[in-house]
């Protein structure tokens, strides 16, 4: 292989060439994994392929480190720095792992088969097929919650995937350039430069924070004639932002946003979305119009169509509309041999990367124990137990907040030192050394040269 004849770091990177892997063994059980996000990757990293044949089906042939996605919308970090090909993990397994870049469109728990569709723009002669499984691991994440509101999908930008971050960036720069267009009316300039974020959960807050930094550090410098016209508004239906953080950190975030001139409209619910304005029910129950240039929609999760389809097939056991119900061993209620982890499930934990990772790791250990029990060893499968490691969020101006479990209590900290901690935690949790290297490089690059303002 190229790695074997020695190409420096490339050699380290490609340590095991796929050709050295064992082939599929028809005598072994086949585990099909749906997804290439946090849950799936954590499972894949740990599953012992000496015991099973493993196949992965996902419309994305890469893993995405979502915690740094908000930084990509403004160019602090480049998207490719937080992506890693799924084959980077599969090449390190002892047995060849098959990967199909496709979407699973249906699951038949009776015949134990799944239907998959090629999602690439260029297709071969076969683009739909079915695959049998012995065990299925569903880790397909969740969809963006829109509450079925007309206009959201058409006019707003979500923030979940690579293409969402790209779309936000393009729209933002379009707004800025259009605002500077010859003879633009003053009220139209104000509208175009009004960036509205809906949802005061961590996604909305972190996006507003990154946007603030971009406006202050870069756009105001590059576009001095527009500097005093940029405006950010965060709309939240509840009485405060970040309900999962301590009240002290909520107050700290809200006062930081106030200093940074990010307007926070709490107890305000979006009711209608049109192409240039949203209508909100404000705290006094008045219907108010808010014109916007860029609208970012971050109102949480809802089940994907495939999740709903599976739940409908076993509807007697699936009684929650919010996600798949699993038992303490991650088995899907009503569908033996199907396991579900991460955001596609409905559980008592928040839908976070932290939960999905721990569930993936746990499930790989369940499969290991099942294999050892089949070998005749005395093994016991214990229920999944979640261990909360704390919550972190970036709030802008080089400040972050952290709620950390400490000696049976909780420590709430916020500020610049927490930001350094935030960075070090994310860097140490990155998928690969390559990702770490690229992200640190991006941080240095944006400090030295500023963020890139090209469209
Ligand atoms: P995902 O990671 O979303 O992966 C789902 C996978 O399934 C994807 O590969 C997708 O392409 C694939 N898929 C979708 N449909 C199908 C189909 N039909 N067939 C096959 N495959 C399919 N959590 C934290 O703990 N800390 C953070 O700091 C944090 N920051 C975040 C920042 C942002 C901007 C966002 C959006 C989320 C953040 N989260 C964070 C939440 C975290 O990203 C999710 O909880 C986590 O991604 C859930 O993992 P998952 O494996 O269930 O789903
Ligand atoms: P979320 O569910 O945490 O927050 C969505 C917010 O939108 C809620 O506060 C809700 O009240 C508000 N909302 C809903 N409908 C509204 C409407 N019509 N008008 C105004 N406000 C409305 O969603 P999220 O922020 O996308 O996060 C999703 C998951 O990902 C969560 O579990 C979160 O913890 C996790 N996450 C974690 C981090 C982090 O740890 N730093 C970052 C991003 C996401």
Any domain includes 72: yes
- On whether both 178 and 281 belong to a single domain, the answer is yes
Domain span including residue 416: 152-301+390-449
Any domain includes 281: yes
Q: In the predicted model, what is the mean pLDDT of residues 326-339?
A: 96
Q: In the predicted model, what is the mean pLDDT of residues 364-378?
A: 96
Q: In the predicted model, what is the mean pLDDT of residues 229-242?
A: 97
Confidence check: pLDDT of 7 > 50: no
Confidence check: pLDDT of 3 > 90: no
Confidence check: pLDDT of 369 > 60: yes
Pocket flag, ligand 1, residue 103 (CB < 6 Å): yes
* Ligand 2 binding residues, C-beta < 6 A: 198-204, 206, 235-238, 243-244, 269-270, 298-301, 350-352, 391-393
- Ligand that lies nearest to the alpha carbon of residue 352, given by its number in the listed order: 1
Place of tokens 């705290």: 283
Q: What confidence tens digit (pLDDT) does each residue in 265-324 have?
A: 999 999 999 999 999 999 999 999 999 999 999 999 999 999 999 999 999 999 999 999
Which ligand 2 atom is the nearest neighbour of the CA of 354? 40
Ligand 2 centroid to Cα of residue 64, in Å, is: 19
Residue 67 is inside which H or E element, if any? none
Which ligand 2 atom is the nearest neighbour of the CA of 67? 42
- Which pLDDT belongs to residue 20? 81
Burial of 339 (0-12, 13-18, 19+ CB in 10 A): buried
- On whether both 398 and 256 belong to a single domain, the answer is yes
- Which pLDDT belongs to residue 126? 87
- Ligand that lies nearest to the alpha carbon of residue 148, given by its number in the listed order: 2
Which ligand 2 atom is the nearest neighbour of the CA of 244? 34
Which ligand 1 atom is the nearest neighbour of the CA of 207? 34
Contacts of 210-214 spanning 24+ positions with Cβ under 8 A: 210/70, 210/71, 210/73, 210/74, 210/76, 210/394, 210/396, 211/73, 211/74, 211/172, 212/260, 212/261, 212/262, 212/396, 212/397, 213/74, 213/76, 213/396, 213/397, 214/74, 214/75, 214/76, 214/451
Secondary structure (DSSP) of 399-427: EEEEEEEETTEEEEEEEHHHHHHHHHHHH
Pocket flag, ligand 1, residue 165 (CB < 6 Å): no
Any domain includes 382: no
- On whether both 128 and 37 belong to a single domain, the answer is yes
Closest-CA residue, ligand 1 atom 13, reads 140
- On whether both 317 and 294 belong to a single domain, the answer is no
Q: In the predicted model, what is the mean pLDDT of residues 246-256?
A: 96
- Which pLDDT belongs to residue 15? 56
Any domain includes 379: no
Any domain includes 423: yes
Confidence check: pLDDT of 259 > 50: yes
Q: What confidence tens digit (pLDDT) does each residue in 88-134 have?
A: 889 889 999 999 999 999 999 999 999 999 998 888 888 999 999 99
How far apart are the C-alpha atoms of 394 and 65, rounded to whole Å? 15
Any domain includes 326: yes
Q: In the predicted model, what is the mean pLDDT of residues 390-395?
A: 95
The last residue of one of the domains, among 339, 374, 409, is 374
Within a 10 A sphere around the Cβ of 269, how many other Cβ atoms?
17
Closest-CA residue, ligand 2 atom 37, reads 202
Contact 367, 378 (CB under 8 A): no
Q: Can you tell me whether residue 131 is helix, strand or coil? A: strand
Contact 137, 339 (CB under 8 A): yes
Confidence check: pLDDT of 14 > 90: no
- Which pLDDT belongs to residue 6? 37
Q: Can you tell me whether residue 220 is helix, strand or coil? A: helix
Tell me what the pLDDT averaged over the chain comes to: 93
- Which pLDDT belongs to residue 317? 94
Q: In the predicted model, what is the mean pLDDT of residues 171-199?
A: 97
Any domain includes 1: no
CATH of the domain at 439: 3.50.50.100
- Which pLDDT belongs to residue 378? 93
How far apart are the C-alpha atoms of 253 and 455, rounded to whole Å? 30
Confidence check: pLDDT of 448 > 70: yes
- Which pLDDT band, with edges at 50, 70 and 90, does 2 fall under? very low
The last residue of one of the domains, among 374, 402, 431, is 374
Confidence check: pLDDT of 372 > 50: yes
Q: In the predicted model, what is the mean pLDDT of residues 192-197?
A: 98
Contact 195, 296 (CB under 8 A): yes
- Which pLDDT belongs to residue 92? 86
CA dist 246 to 199, 210, 251, Å?
18, 22, 9
- Which pLDDT band, with edges at 50, 70 and 90, does 336 fall under? confident
Ligand 1 centroid to Cα of residue 359, in Å, is: 13
By most ligand atoms within 8 Å of CB, the mutation choice from 44, 66, 330, 439 for ligand 1 is 66
Confidence check: pLDDT of 163 > 70: yes
The last residue of one of the domains, among 374, 409, 433, is 374
H/E/C letters for each residue in 12-60? HHCCCCHHHCECCCCCCEEEEEECCCHHHHHHHHHCCCCCEEEEEEECC
Q: Can you tell me whether residue 126 is helix, strand or coil? A: coil
How far apart are the C-alpha atoms of 201 and 307, rounded to whole Å? 23
- Which pLDDT belongs to residue 1? 35
- On whether both 238 and 363 belong to a single domain, the answer is no
- On whether both 198 and 97 belong to a single domain, the answer is no
- Which pLDDT belongs to residue 449? 96
- Ligand that lies nearest to the alpha carbon of residue 66, given by its number in the listed order: 1
How far apart are the C-alpha atoms of 215 and 176, rounded to whole Å? 10
- On whether both 84 and 178 belong to a single domain, the answer is no
- On whether both 206 and 332 belong to a single domain, the answer is no
CA dist 258 to 220, 231, 262, 273, 395, Å?
18, 12, 6, 26, 11
Confidence check: pLDDT of 193 > 50: yes
- Which pLDDT belongs to residue 13? 55
Q: In the predicted model, what is the mean pLDDT of residues 379-402?
A: 95
- Ligand that lies nearest to the alpha carbon of residue 159, given by its number in the listed order: 1
The structural domain count of the chain equals: 2
Q: Quick one: what percent of the chain has pLDDT higher than 70? A: 95
Confidence check: pLDDT of 384 > 60: yes
Q: What confidence tens digit (pLDDT) does each residue in 42-95 have?
A: 999 999 999 999 999 999 999 999 999 999 999 999 999 999 999 988 988 999
Any domain includes 84: yes
Q: Can you tell me whether residue 449 is helix, strand or coil? A: helix
- On whether both 237 and 225 belong to a single domain, the answer is yes
Q: In the predicted model, what is the mean pLDDT of residues 397-421?
A: 88
- On whether both 338 and 287 belong to a single domain, the answer is no
Ligand 1 centroid to Cα of residue 39, in Å, is: 8
- Which pLDDT belongs to residue 455? 85
- On whether both 129 and 180 belong to a single domain, the answer is no
Secondary structure (DSSP) of 146-174: -TT-TTHHHH-B--SSHHHHHHHHHHHHH
- Which pLDDT belongs to residue 124? 86
Which ligand 2 atom is the nearest neighbour of the CA of 269? 19
By most ligand atoms within 8 Å of CB, the mutation choice from 105, 157, 353, 390 for ligand 1 is 353
- Which pLDDT band, with edges at 50, 70 and 90, does 10 fall under? low
- Which pLDDT belongs to residue 17? 55
Of 205, 173, 178, the C-alpha closest to 190 is: 178
Strand 52-58 with 29-34, pairing: parallel
Classify residue 261 as left (phi > 0), alpha (psi -120 to 50) or beta: left
- On whether both 203 and 271 belong to a single domain, the answer is yes
- Greater pLDDT, 453 or 407: 453
């Amino acid at each position: 292989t190229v790695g074997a004849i020695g190409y420096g770091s490339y050699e380290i990177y490609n340590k095991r060439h796929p050709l050295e892997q064992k082939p599929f063994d028809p005598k072994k059980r086949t585990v099909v994994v749906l997804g290439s996000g946090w849950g799936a990757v954590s499972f894949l990293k740990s599953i012992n392929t000496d015991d099973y044949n493993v196949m992965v089906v996902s419309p994305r042939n890469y893993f995405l480190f979502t915690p740094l996605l908000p930084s990509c919308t403004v160019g602090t970090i480049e998207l490719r720095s937080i992506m890693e090909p799924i084959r980077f993990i599969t090449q390190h397994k002892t047995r060849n792992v098959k990967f199909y870049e496709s979407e699973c469109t249906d699951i038949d728990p009776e015949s134990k088969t799944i239907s998959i569709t090629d999602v690439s723009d260029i297709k071969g002669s076969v683009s739909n097929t079915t695959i049998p499984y012995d065990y299925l691991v569903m880790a397909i994440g969740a969809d963006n919650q829109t509450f079925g509101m007309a206009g959201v999908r058409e006019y707003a930008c979500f923030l979940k995937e690579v293409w969402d971050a790209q779309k936000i960036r393009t729209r933002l720069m379009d707004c800025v350039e259009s605002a500077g267009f010859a003879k633009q009316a003053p009220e139209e300039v104000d509208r175009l430069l009004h960036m509205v974020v809906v949802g005061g959960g961590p996604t909305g807050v972190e996006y507003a924070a990154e946007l603030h930094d971009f406006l202050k550090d870069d756009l105001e410098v590059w576009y001095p004639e527009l500097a005093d016209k940029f405006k950010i508004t965060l709309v939240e239906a509840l009485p405060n932002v970040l309900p999962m953080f301590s009240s002290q950190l909520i107050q700290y975030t809200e006062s930081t946003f106030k200093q940074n001139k990010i307007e926070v409209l709490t107890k305000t619910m979006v009711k209608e979305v049109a192409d240039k304005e949203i209508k909100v029910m404000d705290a006094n129950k008045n219907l108010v119009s808010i014109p916007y240039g860029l609208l970012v929609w971050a109102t949480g999760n809802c089940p994907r169509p495939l999740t709903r389809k599976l739940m409908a097939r076993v509807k007697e056991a699936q009684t929650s509309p919010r996600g798949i119900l699993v038992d303490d061993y991650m088995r899907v209620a009503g569908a033996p041999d199907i396991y579900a982890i991460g955001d596609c499930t409905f559980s008592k934990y928040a839908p976070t990367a932290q939960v999905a990772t721990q569930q993936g790791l746990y499930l790989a250990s369940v499969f290991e124990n099942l294999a050892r029990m089949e070998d005749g060893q005395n093994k016991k499968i214990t229920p999944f137990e979640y261990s909360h490691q704390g919550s972190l969020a970036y709030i802008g101006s080089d400040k972050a907040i952290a709620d950390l479990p400490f000696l049976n209590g909780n420590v709430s900290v916020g500020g610049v030192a927490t930001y350094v901690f935030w960075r070090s935690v994310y860097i140490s949790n990155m998928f690969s050394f390559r990702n770490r290297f690229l992200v640190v490089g991006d941080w240095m690059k944006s400090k030295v040269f500023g963020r890139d303002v090209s469209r």
